[in-house]
Every structure is written in structure tokens, then in C-alpha cells.
Amino acid sequence: KANQGRLENFFTVL
């Protein structure tokens, strides 16, 4: 089953 990704997985935290 797929897990919910978090935004930090995809975008850089500035």
C-alpha cells in the first residue's frame, strides 16, 4: 500500500 508523501520529500525547505 502506498504511503502519504510529505512536502519535504519533494520540495526544499528554505
Partner 1 sequence: MFEARLPQAAVLKKLVEALKELVTEGNFDVSPSGISLQAMDSSHVCLVTLQLNDDGFEHFRCDRNMSMGIHFGNLSKILKCAGNEDTITLKAEDNADQLTLMFESANQDRISDFDLKLMSIESEHLGIPDQDYSAEVKMPSAEYQRIVRDLTSMGDTVLVSATKEGIKFSTSGDIGTANITLRHNTTPEKEDEQTHIDLKEPVALTFALRYLNNFAKATPLTPQVKLSLTKDLPVVVEYKVGELGQVRFFLAPKIDD
- If you search the block for the grid coordinates 525547505, which residue do you land on? 13
List binders of partner 1 among 1-14 (CB under 8 A): 1-14
Round the CA-based radius of gyration of the chain to a whole number and report it. 9
Query: What is the closest distance, in whole angstroms, from the C-beta atom of residue 12 to partner 1 in the complex?
Result: 4
Query: What is the closest distance, in whole angstroms, from the C-beta atom of residue 14 to partner 1 in the complex?
Result: 4
Number of residues that bind partner 1 (CB under 8 A): 14
User: Could you tell me the CA-to-CA distances from 8 to 4, 12 in Å, in that order?
Assistant: 12, 6
Identity at 3, one-letter amino acid code: N
Residues at the interface with partner 1 (CB under 8 A): 1-14
